[in-house]
Structure 1
Amino acid sequence: MARPLDQLPKAHLHLHFTGSMRLETLVDMADHHGIRLPRSLVGAWPPQLTSTESRGWFRFQRLYDAARACVRSEADMRRIVREAVLDDAAEGSRWLELQVDPTSYAPFVGGLTPALEIVLDEVEAASAESGIGAGVIVAASRIRHPLDARTLARLAAHHAGPVVGFGLSNDEHRGRTEDFAPAFKIAERAGLGRMPHGGELLGADAVTRTLDSLHPTRIGHGVRAAEDPRVLDRLARDGVALEVCPASNVALGVYPDPADVPARRLLDHGVTVALGADDPLLFGSRLVEQYRIAREEWGLDDEALAELARSSLRASTAPPPSATAPSPTSTRGCVCPSRRSTRSW
């Protein structure tokens, strides 16, 4: 019998704050704030994002914005964080990195700093409750001015420790990657990981631009690097991990079927891969489902799945395991899994 995937120790490195929400949580928040949700989001879940004529980014962004508009209080933010950490713990995660852009929530809680500190405070509490470690990635948006990214990078740097990294997300067609380099330099000087998105909606050239301009430690998605062996060589040589999110790729129409996601090619080329769920609220699946895809669609056996999990831990920002602390008490003082812990799975 196949081993249970929810018992495989792993790290989850690609999960967005709003997109991590349970559907019932979103419905509760919308009801509480008197907001009407789009029928296409709640009528038949998960929503259909693509058609035969087009990919699904525009519809995805519209529904994501509708969900984000329902987050209007500190209590809402704390609920999202707590449930995200608990859900990941239930799926066998030993370390979670939750990505958030505090800009959208700042008006409801008194500013950017309070918005981020609410997330950090609840991450620490939920980490202690769940028994897993967690850190926060502050993410800028490509659709905003690069100066906004610098502001967020300074905020992230000020909270380095519980903030473990700095990212860049949203539509790859928007904004010049090079314009965000100063923000990533701020993050680099602060010792933060650099985790920009790239190479999902656009091809291998986008991965190259990301590598050249932002000097990432990991790349969100990056799966279309498989289109150019030279880019694969560079990723493998430089040890830049890719956060591959197969359900996201299929839902957005990047690939027609999970079996078409070229993860096997990445792995065979020596590229480090960490699986992620991206936005379960809109894509309809969490982390274990991505491992099921790896098993059933990509043909990875249990040994290969365990190595995939080890790769996620190696690519994470988790601190070294502590032999003295009995349970996690903060995002930086937690008991985190050994990179070898998957051997007992």
Structure 2
Amino acid sequence: MTAGTAPVPHGIPHGDREGRRDLRTLPKAHLHLHFTGSMRRATLMEMARERSMRLPRILHESEALQVEATHRGWFRFQRQYDAARAVVDGERAMRRIVREAAEDDAAEGSGRLELQVDPTSYAPHVGGLSPALEIVLDEARASEEATGVSIGIIVAASRMRHPLDARILARLAARNADRVVGFGLSNDERRGITADFAPAFRIARDAGLASVPHGGELLGPDHLSEVVEHLRPDRIGHGVRAADDPALLARIADAGIGLEVCPGSNASLGVYPSARDVPLRRLLDAGAQVALGADDPLLFDSRLLAQYETARQQGFSDAELARLAADSIRLSRAPEDVTARLLAGVEDWLAA
């Protein structure tokens, strides 16, 4: 597969015999997608061949990574992710990832993409943190014009690094607060002390950036409460384990904190037995705003459209799927005109 050729997701019908609407044409926003994890598998294979690099077996096969929700399982996931990231060794590769992520979102009806990147991993190849972020921002502008998908960038720190590194990234994000729309915290939730990252999030909030840390996937409500208290999120990456604590879930819903729920990755990482077991219904019934996301489709073999199909398989009506899409749009940091256009498109989809 060459650059610029978007893959067609497997197993997703354009319509169905029951007359349900085509999910591809439902306008939506994609708020939980990681930079390297967004890569097409064919692109990864091509770049690895060009560099004479060997990749783990799982990355050669069209199947989802499946691990247990343990330290060992996370280590296996991280090892595959690091192997994929190793091929991203310069500006050309970085630009290709951004462009193809936008193309793939456009093919699935996403009108807004907020792509999450930690420039630390790519800085050594391009001369530093600032050049790494500038490459992503510049290509985001070009890809937006080429695809029509509105694109914002989220700068993310890692729990695996010192909290002072997070402050450096927060200041970098703040200096680019026109195209950078949020500041995140990712990687293994069991690492680091959540409160130690609070100063970095204050820097980001003071610059007007959204607070979008991960939380509530591998760990349960106690950890999620710490994320809410110390990092003051606008959205939580995952947050699905809030369903384990009705009081906490009600608190999150009442505060208007969005949840970026990724059923495919929850299943692959062993949080739930399958994507159909992810408690979407419980979250929505409690009044939570939910934005479905693909997380790392390179490893989980499950893109954005598949998350909506999962909700449909759980029994969600087209009206409820439209609500999910509208929530994703409202939770985004898209410009007002983009938000209005996409929400009008959701109404048109439902009226068709």
TM-score, normalisation: structure 2: 0.92
Which residue number in structure 1 is paired with residue 347 of structure 2? Answer: 343
SS at match of 2:20: coil
**Cα offset for 1:47?**
4.3
Match in the other structure for 2:332: 316
Alignment check: 8 A CA contact 1:29 1:70 kept: yes
| Amino acid aligned to 2:159 | R
Q: For 2:268 and 2:341, locate their aligned partners in 1 and report how far apart those are by CA, in whole Å.
A: 32
* Counterpart Cα distance in 1 of 2:310 and 2:20: 13
Structure 1: gaps of 5 or more residues: 322-333
Q: Does the 8 A contact of 2:41 with 2:59 survive in 1?
A: no
- Aligned partner of 1:328 in structure 2 is none
- Give the deviation of 1:31 after TM superposition: 1.2
Unaligned runs of 5+ in 2: 1-18
Cα distance in 2 for residues equivalent to 1:10 and 1:118: 26
Give the 5 Å matches for 1:183-332. Answer: 183-296=200-313, 298-321=314-337
SS in 2 for 1:143: coil
Q: From 28, 38, 43, give the equivalent of 2:46.
A: 28
State the shift of 1:128 in Å.
0.4
**What is the Cα deviation at residue 257 of structure 1?**
1.5
- Aligned equivalent of 2:15: none
- Answer with 258-267 or 13-22: which moved more: 258-267
Q: How does 1:54-65 map to 2 (within 5 A)?
A: 56-65=73-82
Q: Does 1:173 align with 2:190?
A: yes
Query: Is the CA contact (8 Å cut-off) linking 1:98 and 1:134 kept in structure 2?
Result: yes
| 1:331 matched residue in structure 2 | none
Q: Indicate yes or no: 2:14 matched with 1:10.
A: no
Q: CA 1:51–1:176 in structure 2 vs 1: closer, same or farther (change >3 Å)?
A: closer
Query: Alpha-carbon deviation of 1:115?
Result: 0.3
Q: Tell me the secondary structure at the aligned position of residue 254 of structure 1.
A: coil
* CA distance 1:53–1:173, change in 2 (3 Å): closer
Deviation at 1:211, TM superposition (A): 0.5
How many Å apart are 1:52 and its aligned residue?
Answer: 10
In 2, the alpha carbon distance for the partners of 1:76 and 1:311 equals 32
1:139-150 aligned within 5 A: 139-150=156-167
Q: Deviations over 1:221-261 (max 9, x none)?
A: 00000000111111111000000000000000000022211
- Residue 51 of structure 1 deviates from its aligned partner by 5.6
Whole-angstrom CA distance in 2 between matches of 1:336 and 1:80? 28
Rounded to whole Å, the distance in 1 between the matches of 2:199 and 2:71 is 34
Alpha-carbon shift at residue 207 of structure 1 (Å): 1.2
What is the Cα deviation at residue 335 of structure 1?
Answer: 8.2
Corresponding residue for 1:40?
Answer: 58
Letter in 2 for 1:157: A
Q: CA deviation at 1:336?
A: 6.4
Task: Compute the displacement of 1:103 (Å).
Answer: 0.4
Report the CA distance shift for 1:49/1:340 in structure 2 as closer, same or farther (over 3 A). Answer: same
2:111 and 2:342 in contact (8 A); partners too: no
Asked if structure 2 preserves the Cα contact closer than 8 Å seen for 1:153 and 1:186, the reply is yes
Would you say the 8 A contact 2:35–2:116 is kept in 1? yes
Distance 1:51 1:172, change over 3 A: closer
8 Å contact from structure 1 (residues 50, 56) kept in 2: yes
Q: Percent identity?
A: 62
1:324 equivalent in structure 2 = none
Do 1:12 and 1:312's aligned partners in 2 also have CA atoms closer than 8 Å? yes
Larger mean Cα displacement after TM superposition, 255-264 or 284-293: 255-264
CA RMSD of aligned residues (A): 1.5
Q: What do the CA deviations read for 1:200-233 (whole angstroms, capped 9, x no partner)?
A: 0000111110010000100000000000011111
**1:135 maps to which of 144, 147, 152:** 152
2:165 corresponds to 1:161: no
3-state SS, counterpart of residue 213 of structure 2 = strand
Runs of 4+ in 1 over 6 A off after TM superposition: 52-55
Shift of 1:54: 8.2
What does the per-residue CA deviation read over 1:153-207, in whole Å, with 9 as the maximum and x for residues that have no partner? 0000000010000000000010011100000000000000010000000001111
